[in-house]
Structure 1
Amino acid sequence: MLAKNKIINLISTGFFLFINFLFLLKYSSRYVDNFILLTFVFLLIQLIFLVLIEKFVPDDFTLTAKTKYYLLLVPLAVFYGLILSYAPQETRVSRADAATLWLTDLLNGVFPYGTEKNPSGFPVNFLIIYPFSLAGNTGLLQFFTMLSLFFLLIRYSKSLKELLFRGFLILSSVPLYYELVVKSEIFSNAFLFLLLMFIILRKVSDEKWSASFFFSAILAGLLLSTRLVIFPMLLLFLLYKFRNSFPKILSFGLIAVIAFLLTLLPFIIWNSERFFSAGPFAVQSIYLPPVLMGVIIILSAYSGWAAANKYELFFSTGLMLFISIILSFLITVSDTGLYESLFNDRFDISYFNLCIPFFIAGIYEYKVDYFLGKIMPLGEEDQV
């Protein structure tokens, strides 16, 4: 998994640990004096466990009876449930407050954008949260997201080593516990797109037109109405999945954009001036200059075209997200300084959580790296 010639796994694991480093450094500083030492000790322990999995779990130990591994979801559900139950209701950072206020304003007939909490998400982002708000705890969204991610890991891991490696990354992930505690929906947004990618790869033909094609395009459009960053992710995916059919790329993209625009139409009609001046476009577009955003879109398109298999697709998606976010972070650091950016919340490092599900999904046991070097016909992705 971590051999020196396995570039994808090394980069994915390295960036994952870097994100852990940022979160632990920032939030442990609020509770302990020796937070720097604590951060490095924790990272060292993570590395030791990963090396132990690499060295002592046999490569050929396959998951012949996956049913027993699904039973792991029961203690995991209890574990995450306890964290959610005992998490403080009031935290310094609470995305749930912004989501709850948006929903409350909408239901009371008040235009939900440009308010005190300055909600930045597109409409579907909050509508996804709504059922969990009715249940009395928006953190349930993150709870089910974590369990669903583990289910996917068990379903698509080909060996015990893959399962243990990926599973340990999740269980030791400080950012994911942060998501549970502050009831953030950022990781859930990314996971839903990853889930849609899995579904389309398995159920939608890249040659034949079908009802599943059009239904998937509509779902993609709805996910576009969560965060602006989904756009380059979708472009990357379409150029991988339908690289041999330009009409399908165009049709899928057009349907998705129409579905996306339809979710915005009621708010544009309601108050167009406020929607465009204080809504999600205004808030989310400030993180990167247009030139850099254009570069990211071009790199995303190339990465989707060049990815050799589905694992490289997942890795490419995580990498493009990481590059976008780290560039935005570095711009903020250059403007305000590292201390202000990291410790005084001038930059929201929770956006790094968008990368995590894709980096984890892109880690697998393989023999040769093809990333950005060879285009393989679709359907051969599992032969690498």
Structure 2
Amino acid sequence: MILLKNFKDFQNLSKFSIGFIYLFVNSLFIFKYGGKFVEYVLPLYLILITFFLFIYLKIKFKKNVYKWFFIIFATIFFISVCFVNYFVDGNSLNVDRWSAMEVGIKAILNNQYPYNIPDFLGRESSNLPTLIILGMPFYLLLESVGYLQAFVFLLFAFLFFKIFDDYKQRFLALVILIFSPSYLWEIYVKSDLFSNFVLLVFFLLLSWKYIAKNEKFRTIWLPVFTALIFLTRLSVVIPLLILLFKPFICFSIKQKLIFVFIFSLINVFILSYFFHNAQDFQMIVKYNPFTIQGGKQPLFLSLLFVFFACLVSFKVKNFLDIAFWSAILFFSASLLPFLLHLKDFGWKNVFINSYFDVNFFNMSMPFVIISFVLLYKNKFIPER
């Protein structure tokens, strides 16, 4: 009974933690970008989202109602994302993630080194190679990398079908996604960060399903996909370790060697292609995405979260564990530097002068949304 009570306490703490992260991150975005009406918008948002979630967990409609709600909301929102990307002029924004990607794409297409060319705000790109490659089709076919957001939204909606059991759960995930100010801000400024981590979720789910079941996937394709997703953002190493560290330890010596060889080969091949146009090695040392991304937080914090991810890997029993611990560690990895910046530079510099990019909190949000619905799925009335 004591163990059962402790388990229930952990479940309740998990639910509270995920709910808190969702509200905290979205409140942070409202506070920063809400303008002069923030004192009215923030309380209203918190009241409305809390009221909606409370009611949603209590009501029951027929299965087809949730299905049509999901289809209608997803279609309208997809069209809206396309319209926003078309009508919002990226050059009018004070955010350059879209421009950094386009600069990288243009450089590669013109046989130039992509990491020493300033974007429209005068900053060099920190996009790793795979992320630049992912943006290429949208730049070449639609002349805007912002449409990547629309494609990834459809991918996330598809993942809801694979992760959740019924349309009530899927529709809830859709609603808390599209009514998330942090996500809406990403769409408006054509940022790729949220999309990057939705793609990571896709890889994690695919790998979780096939690591143990398919030897060919485990031996050949897993290191290929791991290398590709690793070369989108350095921080993806946290969920990758949560998923892969324990299985890798259990691999045979031969499987370990094959994994390391293929993983290294893919990295060397892609990085060589992206770096070969540099004038000399000193240019690579001075201008490269690893230096920029690696300097976002103190090294000891990065190593600490890597250590925790390795430990958590041995506790993973289902996909909820992967999503939940990814959400917790990503949120913590953003919160600690955020608090350190507040301490060192003060509230005004952090928020008004943007000494800290609150967009980093969005790394956790795809995992928060998935974890929230999975943690509360026992609250849903079964559909017939």
- Does TM, normalized by the shorter one, top 0.5? yes
Q: CA deviation at 1:17?
A: 1.4
| Residues in 2 aligned to 1:36 and 1:64: alpha-carbon distance in whole angstroms | 36
Q: Is structure 2 residue 136 aligned with structure 1 residue 130?
A: yes
Deviations along 1:28-64, one digit per CA (max 9) or x if unpaired, are 12xxx23133122112211111111122248xx7789
Partner of 2:102: 100
Does 143-152 or 272-281 show the bigger shift?
272-281
Counterparts of 1:211-250 in structure 2 under 5 Å?
Answer: 211=217, 213-239=219-245, 244-245=250-251, 247=253, 248=255
Could you tell me how far apart the structure 2 residues matched to 1:167 and 1:257 are?
A: 37
Aligned to 2:298: 289
What SS class does the counterpart of residue 94 from structure 2 fall into? coil
Amino acid at match of 1:125: L
- The alignment status of 1:327 with 2:346, answered yes or no, reads no
Deviation at 1:18, TM superposition (A): 0.9
Q: Give how far 1:336 is off.
A: 1.7
Instruction: Identify the residue that residue 5 of structure 2 maps to in structure 1.
Output: none
Cα distance change, pair 12–209 in 1 and its aligned pair in 2 (3 A): same
Give the whole-Å Cα distance in 2 for the aligned partners of 1:217 and 1:149: 23
Distance 1:148 1:278, change over 3 A: same
Count of equivalent residues: 362
- Answer yes or no: is 1:12 the counterpart of 2:18: yes
Q: Which amino acid aligns with 1:87?
A: V
Q: Which moved more, 1:255-264 or 1:322-331?
A: 255-264
Seen in structure 2, the aligned counterparts of structure 1 residues 183 and 253 have a Cα distance that, compared at 3 Å, is: farther
> Residue 363 of structure 1: SS of its match in structure 2?
helix
Query: TM-score with structure 1 length normalisation?
Result: 0.84
Any stretches of 5+ residues in structure 2 without a counterpart? 1-7, 379-384
1:8–1:242 distance in 2 versus 1, CA, 3 Å: farther
Q: Report the more deviating stretch, 241-250 or 185-194.
A: 241-250
Larger displacement relative to structure 2 (268-277 or 292-301): 268-277
For 1:190, the equivalent position in structure 2 comes to 197
Alignment of 1:114-263 (within 5 A): 114-116=116-118, 117-134=123-140, 135-202=142-209, 204-206=210-212, 209-211=215-217, 213-239=219-245, 244-245=250-251, 247=253, 248=255, 251-252=258-259, 254-263=261-270
Is the CA contact 1:23–1:349 (under 8 Å) kept in the aligned structure 2? yes
C-alpha displacement at 1:221, in angstroms?
0.4
Q: Report how far residue 128 of structure 1 moved.
A: 0.9
**Could you list the runs of 5+ residues in structure 1 that have no partner in the other structure?**
370-384
Q: Is the 8 A contact 1:62 1:158 kept in 2?
A: no
The answer to whether 1:279 aligns with 2:280 is no
**CA positional deviation for 1:351:** 1.5
2-structure distance, mates of 1:345, 1:163: 35
Tell me the alpha carbon deviations over residues 250-284 of structure 1, each in whole angstroms, 9 at most, x when there is no partner.
65355334322321123444433222222111101
Cα 1:138–1:65 shift into 2, 3 Å: same
Distance 1:68 1:93 in 2: 33
For the structure 1 residues 257 and 341, does the alpha-carbon distance in structure 2 shift closer, same or farther, using more than 3 Å as the test?
farther
Distance 2:315 2:126 in 1: 33
- Is the CA contact (8 Å cut-off) linking 2:74 and 2:174 kept in structure 1? no
Do structure 1's residue 43 and structure 2's residue 83 form an aligned pair?
no
Report the 3-state secondary structure (helix = DSSP H, G, I; strand = E; otherwise coil) of the residue aligned with 1:306.
coil
Please give the alpha-carbon distance, in whole angstroms, between the structure 2 residues aligned to 1:323 and 1:91.
Answer: 28
Higher helix share: 2
Q: CA deviation at 1:343?
A: 2.3
1:331 Cα deviation after fit: 2.4
Match of 1:27 in 2: 33
TM-score, with length taken from structure 2: 0.84
Residue 170 of structure 1, CA deviation: 0.4
AA of the residue aligned to 1:333: L
Q: Secondary structure at the match of 2:114?
A: coil
Does the CA contact (< 8 Å) of 1:113 and 1:274 recur in 2?
Answer: no
1 CA distance for matches of 2:221 and 2:192?
24
CA contact (8 A) 2:93 2:189 kept: yes
The CA deviation at 1:178 is 1.4
**Structure 1 residue runs of 4 or more that deviate by more than 6 Å after TM superposition:** 61-68
Segment drifting more, 223-232 vs 72-81: 72-81
1:53–1:161 Cα contact (<8 Å) kept:
no
Distance 1:4 1:223 in 2: 31
User: Counterpart of 1:361 in structure 2: which amino acid?
Assistant: I
The percentage of aligned residue pairs carrying the same residue is 21
